[in-house]
Amino acid sequence: MKFLRLAFYVLIAQLVLSGCAGEGVEETSPSSSEINFDAYLGTNESTRAGETNLAFLKGTAFNSGFGVFARHKHADGSISDMMDNEHVTWNGNSWGYTNTQYWPDEGSVDFYAYAPYIEGVKLVKAPGENKDNPTYIQFNSSVNPVDLVLGCKENINVPTTPSSASKVKFDFWHALARLTFDITANSQLEENGAVIKVKEVKLYGASEDEGALDVNGYLDLTKLNVSMFEGWSVVKDKNTRVVYTWTPRDTKDRGNLKLTASQLDHTCTKIESDPNSYLCVIPQQKGKDKDNDNDGKWDDDPFYLQITYTVQRGTSQQTITVKKNLFDVSHPFRFERNRTCILHLKLPLNHTRSRSNASEDFSVTMSVGSIPE
């Protein structure tokens, strides 16, 4: 009888312990689930040079992948940082990062992302902004001449169980405008027996040593598919504006902006800005709107596109410089988010005329379209 009673107590103890173990599994914290990411950018994985696309994000360059910020919004209303410019990269099968983070037990999480990755980027307040927990990054298009994209996922509720956790997927959007151009001649080169050699293309402001475009601004990472200038706070400072110069590829002493060719003749009828030399511009407007002359947000400072080239016929050669105030092409001149401005330049061949008259014959037109995905 004592043996049966002992066996009964042992059985009860085992059942109690088993029940406690079962309760421990059911109450496993969702924090055991790692936060993982996925990315979408465009409709394909093209490898177009000069563009931030999915192929670039998955590449091996030092700035491939994307940077992520994350904030935990607790159930009691408090907010704490979880990720601070975490560099997420592609490992061949999935996206990974070094400082692994796990889903918290309660509340929700906001995620902000941008690419290409830039070391040292912080979430900061834009000038004049006073709200807590800012969502801006500071960006300089001269220091970082890249095709900047951004993504955002806000108010993502924490998973109720580890198995229910899904990847945080960023849909990236282009944040900048783009300027590019092509160069042709306004007559048949073969018929005229002429050869044009382009020495340089220059974009500048009121004078040749003054820049035209503002290069410093603050981008709100919560503003995704928006139009024109929304989401940007541009720092207007004439002292930081940059003069941009494009030269042929074999020219090594004039900067990094290059042309696809140097010579127009019967075998090459078009020269373009090299795809790696697209000019990425912080969205801004040059010139005031005609119906709002008192608008102090934009200035009416002129800005020019200038080309220096030679025209050769036989043994005769002359160097010509022509320029165009781009307000003659469009006034105001708008650089809008996710839009490409393509300038079509036609050079005059008549090298017997004066520089001013040659500039009058210099034709510039423009087409505008979306940045291709």
Number of domains in the chain: 2
- Looking at 174, 194, 227, the residue that finishes a domain is 174
**Same domain as 185, residue 169:** no
pLDDT tens-digit profile of 152-211? 999 999 998 877 789 999 999 999 999 999 999 977 666 677 899 999 999 999 999 999
Structure tokens that stand for 243 in this block = 């003069």
Least confident of 130-144, 310-324, 352-366: 352-366
pLDDT per residue over 272-281, tens digit each?
999 889 999 9
Domain encompassing residue 345: 177-215+238-370
What the block records as the tokens of 70 is 């994350």
- Tell me 9's DSSP state: H
Nearest 5°: the CA angle 154, 158, 163 is 130
Residue 169 placed within a domain = yes
- One domain, residues 45 and 98: yes
Instruction: Judge contact between 115 and 65, C-beta under 8 A.
Output: yes
Do 159 and 195 reside in the same domain of the chain? no
For the segment 229-274, what is each residue's pLDDT rounded down to a tens digit? 999 999 999 999 999 999 998 887 666 899 999 999 888 999 999 9
Q: Please indicate, yes or no, whether residues 168 and 186 belong to a single structural domain of this protein.
A: no
159: DSSP letter: P
Q: How far apart (Å, rounded) are the C-alpha atoms in residues 195 and 212?
A: 31
Q: Is residue 321 part of a domain?
A: yes
Is the whole-model pTM more than 0.95? no
168 in any annotated domain: yes
Compute the distance between CA of residue 300 and CA of residue 156 in angstroms, rounded to an integer.
45
The gap from C-alpha 241 to its chain's centroid, in whole angstroms, comes to: 19
Same domain, 55 and 194: no
- Are 209 and 306 contained in the same domain? yes
Question: Which tens digit of pLDDT belongs to each residue from 19-60?
Answer: 443 333 223 344 469 999 999 997 555 555 678 999 999 999
Whichever domain contains 71, its CATH number is 2.60.40.2620
Q: Encode pLDDT of 47-98 as tens digits.
A: 556 789 999 999 999 999 999 999 999 999 999 999 999 999 999 999 999 9
